Amino acid sequence: MSQITTLTILTYQGFTDKFWALSMMQFGHRYMKSVQGQSFYKLLGSGKENFNPFPDWNVYAVLQVWEDKSFAEYFFKTHKLSQLYQRHADKMEVLYLESIQARGLWNGKNPFQSSVKPKDIREEDQIAVITRASIKTNMLLKFWKFVPESQRPLENAEGLLYTKGFGELPFVEMATFSIWKTLDHLQTYAYQSHEHIKAIQKTRKLDWYSEELFSRFRLQEKLILKA
């Protein structure tokens, strides 16, 4: 068996469905108890454009880690929660992700097991990145004042196909998700962007995270369940 991760991105329209989506941030957990083959999950809200910490009430996400792909496929085809998401969402997109490397912790554990070796990544493979952090309460103001400067290079980053801020708790429990055209495009941004390097140095200096995780994936498949 080979571990697979899915990120389901859900877009809602209309007050009733948006309110339902918000309620599922709490009530969705009850459905997760009956999901087979799932080793880790997170119900996520999202922030407004340009990593604004204020909520985007239109977009939510579900992150799930599976023992293998067959469990994920069975969930999306048959599980009541998946059916509810399809009923209420205006758009539902599932990204299948194979872990390349993950460093750090998420709630005290690293949920991602490497299933792809770097040498096996092909030139045409798209690369997804999840970065997640818990921000120390006494560092919240400094952190969010610095975000616009640190994220500015992303606006024109070559090879960036998609980026969005997600989180379990606004302002405090934050994650970013991005998709890059190739591994080379990601590495060029990560290691040659002056602003990005400065942000990493400032993070180390100020130590404003109580917990953090950085992970890379190969985008294996994109499944549109509702468009």
Residue 10 has pLDDT above 80, yes or no: yes
Report pLDDT digits (tens) over 59-112.
999 999 999 999 999 999 999 999 999 999 999 999 999 999 999 999 999 999
From residue 187, alpha-carbon distances to 77, 87, 145, 173 in Å are: 36, 39, 26, 26
Residue 52: closest CA among 214, 216, 201, 176: 176
pLDDT band at 199 (very low <50, low <70, confident <90, very high): low
Q: Quickly count helices (H) and strands (E) in the chain.
A: 6, 8
What would the mean pLDDT of 158-185 be, rounded to a whole number? 91
The residue extents of the domains of the chain are 4-226
pLDDT band at 200 (very low <50, low <70, confident <90, very high): confident
What would the mean pLDDT of 9-25 be, rounded to a whole number? 97
As beta bridge partners, residue 97 has 5, 219
pLDDT at position 8 is 98
pLDDT at position 149 is 65
Chain Cα centroid distance, residue 77 = 22
Look up residue 109 and give its two tokens. Answer: 């554990």
Rounded CA Rg of the chain: 17
- Asked if the 4-226 domain carries CATH number 1.20.58.190, the reply is no
pLDDT at position 166 is 93
Q: How many CB atoms lie within 10 A of CB 151?
A: 18
Angle, vertex CA 109, rays to CA 11 and CA 118, nearest 5: 75
Report pLDDT digits (tens) over 112-165.
999 998 889 999 999 999 999 999 888 888 777 777 666 666 777 899 999 999
Question: What integer best gives the mean pLDDT of the chain?
Answer: 90
* 10, 85 Cβ separation under 8 angstroms: yes
